[in-house]
Amino acid sequence: MLDDVGTASVDETWCLGDLVGYGAQPDECVELAREVCDLCLVGNHDLVVLGKLEIETFSLNAAVAARWTQDHIGADALEFMDGLEPSETSRDVGLFHGSPRDPVWEYVLSTLQADACMDEMDARIGAVGHSHVALCFNRADDGPVRGAQTPAGTELELSEGRWLVNPGSVGQPRDGDPRAAWLELDLDAWEIVYHRTEYDIAGAAAAIRAARLPDSLAERLSYGQ
């Protein structure tokens, strides 16, 4: 995926959180994010590994993965994640792991939620992660919020109105497309393009099984679930 990002000649690379979570290579993922990302947010899975969230608030498989990660992650990775925040609002685009209302926990999946989140944002455009679903919401100055999932190749112009966009997930997409999802944002033209990139799903699944994490975490990768 990073090779594809490189061909886009981007000026900055942003990560909206959850450097660790369901996978079996937490140190490698954190180190890669530290090397290539100009900005990283912290996600709820990162926070639970850091001990800043109660593990009992997670689903069964997520809790199993979090405990495994706590047992296997290195001190350098923990130190890096410990210095991150779940939101960044000093830029032209508001960046949130969850949402403007709750940067850690809220999944923005409905127009009703998006409407309230747009009211909460100072920025005209916001980007969120957390849900693992590539989508966008927009609201004209005098109209209702509209929302839709955004398959690969979707191009949108964001020069007018208020917007909340989600690039989808690199590691575990949940919109039926198993490819790694990412979003290219042009702040001069106010245009975005949604991308998907093939990656070694079999290798990631094999690593999960070798770590004796729940098999469902490996199997779901092939289905984008």
State pLDDT tens for residues 85-115. 999 999 999 999 999 999 999 999 999 999 9
Please list the alpha-helical segments (H only) found in the chain. 2-7, 26-36, 44-49, 60-72, 75-82, 111-120, 201-210, 215-219
CA 123 to chain centre: 19
Measured distance between the N- and C-terminal CA atoms of the chain, rounded to whole angstroms: 19
CA distance 81 to 61: 22
Q: Domain residue spans in the chain?
A: 2-223
Six-digit token string for 147? 């929302």
The residue with tokens 């949940």 is 174
List pLDDT tens digits, range 174-203: 999 999 999 999 999 999 999 999 999 999
pLDDT of residue 8: 82
CA distance 100 to 138: 15
Instruction: Please state which CATH class domain 2-223 belongs to.
Output: alpha beta
pTM of the full predicted structure?
0.95
CA distance 89 to 123: 8
